[in-house]
């Protein structure tokens, strides 16, 4: 069931490739705005880079979240999924995994290019990719709770952002912290471990909360 | 006496109305007593002069913001788990009051920060966590106002509040971590000065006053919510009769 | 009763500002709740009187006014 859900979502996403690309473009544009707003001084850019890149990743994730359940709601698939004997949290897990592959992995892959814009040294670029790799599942997991709660509501993307962005803050702190540690020469390991722990906690609790929220939203 | 009948909003409504003055009046008295102790009995602080007197309202406000969030989550959880309408209404009634205490804590904290450490806003762990708590309140209130169906609003709020309550310790820890890392840039509050008895007394008296005030105000708001839902229900019944 | 230094050692703006802001919040909360209640009561009365009328018009047996 899990494999089927993931495969189905991946296929559907492939048919709407433009959506994936628009998330990536948004990420690149937002990151590029900061030097334009702040100034090209290399030292300054290097110091703000971890935070800027991570925040841009958060915002780009927000955009893709509303699509997580909305399309299935529209064509009636979501109601069918709720009726299957399979545990709902497995369905949720599958959709979240597909969302991560489709919306977050491209960001992880583009991140080194974006990091070069901020003159981040090579080894740090690697840590940047690792931090995003460990942290982006959190974005999909916690984001899915927000997407499920706001299903079909007027507020749209802004409402999801209000609900979910405060909950992302630990991931932001540890993720950006890891990159920054690497830049100043300290060990990024403690940050990455904490980020990993937060990711595991999210993995355990979020699908259950999302499943409950889906039932509530569809009654 | 059968207490269970009060679980119904319509029977609780008159009881709430009778209870309000029993909380409102003692609250006002305790506020006055607390202010008296804080301003007339507590001495001027050695380090901070008279500016420290802000803590008599700042600290109780911060604690109330946190207590009320937990209480809100508990009521929301009970309402969801036991399908108890009144408990869910309580959660919704608490939200705005909790948010206001949190806002008060932020503003008074800023006004305390300026004379004491030189800036209105120092990104220390406590203030930053309080700001995030305000965001969590705003999220809860926004979600409930975006949903028209009251049952869905109650339950969705419960999920959000419970997720928030679990996250709050994690957020607090991560903000503390963040703060200790960036020590150079921020200003640290170097431990608590030893608190003289009258200062502690004033804070606790005002905290008690805040609790009583919260009960009174939440009951007032609860009555409004009960009326609103009753009206919507009868309008719905009229239309569908 | 020994009066404290009302200027708060020069910090009057911060100290009194805090308490005045608290007072403003309290007053706002209580006043807006009272208003909300009043509006709801008025709506409730309007609703009650409008739902009484149909039965009056159709001459129901419960009519007590003539």
**Digit-coded pLDDT (tens) for B106-162:** 999 999 988 888 888 888 888 899 999 999 999 999 999 999 999 999 999 999 999
Query: Under 8 Å CB-to-CB from A1, ≥6 apart: which residues?
Result: A84, A86, A90, A91, A94
Which residue's structure tokens are 């709740």?
C33
- Nearest-5° Cα angle at A168, A104 to A40: 70
Which residue's structure tokens are 């628009």?
A22
CA distance A160 to A154: 11
Instruction: Decide: B158 and B84 in contact? Cβ < 8 Å.
Output: no
Average pLDDT over residues B37-42: 87
With bands split at pLDDT 50, 70 and 90, how would you rate the model's confidence at C64?
very low
Which residues of B fall within a CB distance of 8 Å from C22?
57, 61, 104, 108
Which residues of B fall within a CB distance of 8 Å from A155?
142, 146
Global pTM reads 0.89
Which residues of C fall within a CB distance of 8 Å from B53?
8, 15
pLDDT at B2: 66
Instruction: Decide: A165 and A55 in contact? Cβ < 8 Å.
Output: no
Instruction: Decide: B58 and B190 in contact? Cβ < 8 Å.
Output: no
- Look at residue B214 and tell me whether its pLDDT is greater than 80: yes
Distance from CA of A17 to the nearest CA of B (A): 31
pLDDT digits (tens, 9 = 90+) for B47-69: 777 888 899 999 999 999 999 99
In chain A, what are the helix, strand and coil shares in percent, each to the nearest 5? 90, 0, 10
Q: For residue C11, give the chain B residue with the closest CA.
A: B51
- More reliable by pLDDT, B45 or A6: A6
Q: Lowest-pLDDT range, A57-66, B176-185, C13-22, C32-41? A: B176-185
Phi, psi of A35 (to 5 degrees): -60, -35
pLDDT digits (tens, 9 = 90+) for A128-140: 999 999 999 999 9
DSSP 8-state code for residue B5: G
Average pLDDT over residues A72-84: 87
Q: What are the Cα distances from residue B8, in Å, to A25, B60, B88, C41?
A: 54, 32, 12, 20
- Nearest-5° Cα angle at B217, B161 to B65: 40
Q: What is the dihedral of CA A109, A112, A117, A121, to 10 degrees?
A: 170
pLDDT digits (tens, 9 = 90+) for A172-217: 999 999 999 999 988 999 999 999 999 999 999 999 999 999 999 9
Would you call B49 and C8 a contact, using CB atoms and an 8 Å cutoff? Answer: yes
ipTM field: 0.90
Domain count, chain A: 1
Would you call B217 and C33 a contact, using CB atoms and an 8 Å cutoff? Answer: yes
The whole domain housing A161 covers 2-218
In chain C, what are the helix, strand and coil shares in percent, each to the nearest 5? 75, 0, 25
Helix extents (H) in B37-123:
55-81, 85-117
């Amino acid at each position: 069931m899990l494999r089927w859900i993931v495969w189905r979502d991946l296929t559907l996403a492939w048919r709407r490739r433009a959506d994936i690309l628009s998330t990536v473009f948004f990420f690149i544009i937002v990151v590029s705005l900061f030097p334009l707003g702040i100034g090209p001084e290399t030292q300054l850019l290097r110091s703000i880079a971890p935070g800027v890149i991570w925040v841009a990743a958060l915002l780009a994730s927000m955009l893709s979240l509303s699509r997580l359940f909305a399309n299935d709601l529209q064509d009636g698939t979501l109601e069918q999924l709720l009726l299957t004997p399979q545990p709902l949290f497995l369905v949720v897990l599958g959709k979240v995994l597909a969302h991560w592959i489709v919306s977050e992995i491209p960001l992880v892959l583009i991140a080194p290019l974006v990091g070069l814009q901020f003159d981040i040294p090579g080894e740090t670029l690697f840590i940047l990719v690792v931090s995003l790799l460990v942290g982006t599942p959190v974005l999909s997991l916690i984001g899915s709770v927000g997407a499920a709660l706001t299903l079909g509501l007027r507020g749209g993307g802004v409402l999801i952002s209000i609900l979910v962005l405060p909950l992302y803050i630990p991931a932001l702190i540890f993720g950006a912290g890891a990159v920054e540690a690497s830049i100043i020469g300290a060990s990024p390991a403690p940050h990455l471990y904490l980020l990993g722990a937060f990711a595991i906690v999210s993995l355990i609790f979020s699908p259950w909360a999302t499943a409950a929220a889906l039932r509530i939203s569809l009654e | 006496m059968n207490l269970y009948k009060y679980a119904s909003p319509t029977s609780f409504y008159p009881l709430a109305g009778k209870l309000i003055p029993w909380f409102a009046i003692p609250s006002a008295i305790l506020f006055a007593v607390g202010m008296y102790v804080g301003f007339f009995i507590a001495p001027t602080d050695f380090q901070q002069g008279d500016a420290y007197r802000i803590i008599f309202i700042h600290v109780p406000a911060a604690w109330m913001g946190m207590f009320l969030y937990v209480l809100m989550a508990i009521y929301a959880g009970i309402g969801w788990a036991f399908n108890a309408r009144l408990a869910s209404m309580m959660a919704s009634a608490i939200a705005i009051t909790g948010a206001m205490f949190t806002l008060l804590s932020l503003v008074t904290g800023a006004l305390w920060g300026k004379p004491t450490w030189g800036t209105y806003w120092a990104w220390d762990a406590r203030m930053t966590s309080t700001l995030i708590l305000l965001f969590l309140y705003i999220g809860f209130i926004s979600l409930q106002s975006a949903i028209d169906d009251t049952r869905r609003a109650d339950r969705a709020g419960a999920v959000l509040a419970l997720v928030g309550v679990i996250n709050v310790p994690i957020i607090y820890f991560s903000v503390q971590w963040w703060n200790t890392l960036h020590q150079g840039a921020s200003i640290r509050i170097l431990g608590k000065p030893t608190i003289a008895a009258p200062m502690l007394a004033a804070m606790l008296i005002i905290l008690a006053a805040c609790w009583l005030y919260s009960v009174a105000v939440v009951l007032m708001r609860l009555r409004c919510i009960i009326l609103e839902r009753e009206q919507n229900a009868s309008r719905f019944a009229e239309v569908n009769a | 009763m020994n009066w404290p230094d009302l200027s708060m050692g020069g910090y009057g703006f911060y100290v009194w500002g805090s308490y005045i802001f608290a007072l403003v919040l309290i007053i706002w909360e209580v006043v807006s709740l009272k208003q909300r209640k009043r509006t709801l009561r008025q709506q409730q009365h309007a609703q009650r009187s409008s739902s009484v009328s149909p039965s009056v018009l159709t001459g129901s047996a419960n009519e007590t006014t003539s």
